[in-house]
Amino acid sequence: MNLHDKLAIEHEWTTPIGSIDIYLPEVLRQTLIVILTKQGIVFTEHTYNKVNKTSEALKNFDNNIYNLFDYTDQKELLEANEIDALKEFEKIASKLIRTYIAKAWGLDEDSVIKARCFGNVQRPFGRRTAPHFHHAWDGVFVHYLTVGEEFNYPLFEKEGTNEKLVAITGKAERGRAKLDAQDPQAINSDYSGDLILLDPRPAIKMPYNNKAKTIKPEVGTTLLHPGYLWHETQTHTKPGIRVAIVINFNIENRNWDILPTYLI
Ligand SMILES: [Fe+2]
């Protein structure tokens, strides 16, 4: 496949947005979902609210920040086949990121790139992803592994079994095994999990509908955009978990890695 032709680049405002549908082999897709739900911090809602925590709690929080492409770090947590799956995914993502930086930014595909890979796992009515951008990163890659109506959490009937993932069933249709009486009912809303890209320019007088672009992610949707781009996600309301795998990346250059010194 010639990625250079397949990866679409649309210039929204002044920002190049890359998009392509990537259908991973089913085993690889499900393995990546399992890997993300094994991490110390599973749900996106638990990555907020750092205030009011003791320094010990903050230390634990920081210890749970992970990079899936740091294979020495993941060795204790993951099985050999899961490490292999991650490496397979890294190769695919690397080709896409390199195609994006060449086609969108005119950079050399063989540039040295540093990356951190992590996941975004949401359950129905988990915390909304508020507007943000990825500070200090050149670019962001996101691939949607499931957008709901597929898998419950926990993923397996019994702890430690590596059987088929638990699919959505009537008994736990809100995407979690134990429900509190106050838990909101999952609904298949029109807006569930929509990604909203926001015009990064400061011209606030422009009509809002020209400044926000909505994307409805589906399984396989893959997007690439500069790290400075503001974006947010509508609340995931569908039954079952919604899982995206994300890569923050930086392109190394002389300016970035050799010249700067630490400021006094
Ligand atoms: Fe983000």
Cα–Cα separations (whole angstroms), residue 245 to 117, 147, 167, 223: 7, 12, 20, 11
Instruction: Supply the range of the domain harboring residue 155.
Output: 3-49+59-252
Please indicate, yes or no, if residue 26 is contained in any of the structural domains.
yes
State how far the Cα of 116 lies from the Cα of 143, in Å rounded to an integer.
14
| CA 155 – ligand 1 centroid, Å | 24
| CA 134 – ligand 1 centroid, Å | 6
Please indicate, yes or no, if residue 86 is contained in any of the structural domains.
yes
| CA 132 – ligand 1 centroid, Å | 6
| CA 184 – ligand 1 centroid, Å | 25
Please indicate, yes or no, if residue 54 is contained in any of the structural domains.
no
Average pLDDT over residues 174-180: 58
| CA 229 – ligand 1 centroid, Å | 9
Average pLDDT over residues 112-121: 95
| Cα angle 79-85-89, degrees, rounded to a multiple of 5 | 145
Q: Cβ distance 3 to 109 under 8 Å?
A: no
For residue 92, the domain's CATH number is: 2.60.120.620
Please indicate, yes or no, if residue 259 is contained in any of the structural domains.
no
| CA 222 – ligand 1 centroid, Å | 13
Flag whether pLDDT at 206 surpasses 90: no
Please indicate, yes or no, if residue 163 is contained in any of the structural domains.
yes
| CA 23 – ligand 1 centroid, Å | 22
pTM of the model as a whole: 0.88
Domain count along the chain = 1
Please indicate, yes or no, if residue 264 is contained in any of the structural domains.
no
Please indicate, yes or no, if residue 144 is contained in any of the structural domains.
yes
Q: Cβ distance 117 to 35 under 8 Å?
A: no
Query: What local confidence, expressed as pLDDT, does residue 40 receive?
Result: 75
| CA 79 – ligand 1 centroid, Å | 28
Please indicate, yes or no, if residue 99 is contained in any of the structural domains.
yes
| CA 44 – ligand 1 centroid, Å | 11
Flag whether pLDDT at 169 surpasses 60: no
